[in-house]
Amino acid sequence: MPPKRKILSSFVSFDVTYTDGTRSSNRRVPYTELSGLDGDEPARGFIEAQDREIAAASGRPRADIKSLARTPVRVPSKV
């Protein structure tokens, strides 16, 4: 059997918790935004920019970001 291919994604998913207690899951950030020594901190600025665009379009501002964590990767279970 040939080896399985490793799938490279061009996005990294984050779970965002806001100061008002709301949560947003699987917010996608381009992998290229995270390619520095700052770790995941550049993702905060990218997600805040997305929130500003969404707020401008909907007229409803989002609360400030309280915490940011990478979405856990699901490993398919072997049957």
Distance (Å, whole) CA 33 – CA 6: 21
77, part of any domain: no
6, part of any domain: no
Domain of 17? 11-70
- Please identify which residue in the block is written with the tokens 């379009």: 57
15, part of any domain: yes
79, part of any domain: no
pTM assigned to the model:
0.76
75, part of any domain: no
- Please identify which residue in the block is written with the tokens 């100061």: 19
The per-residue pLDDT for range 13-35, each reduced to its tens digit, is 999 999 999 999 999 999 888 87
The per-residue pLDDT for range 41-69, each reduced to its tens digit, is 889 999 999 999 999 999 999 899 999 99
2, part of any domain: no
4, part of any domain: no
Counted domains in the chain: 1
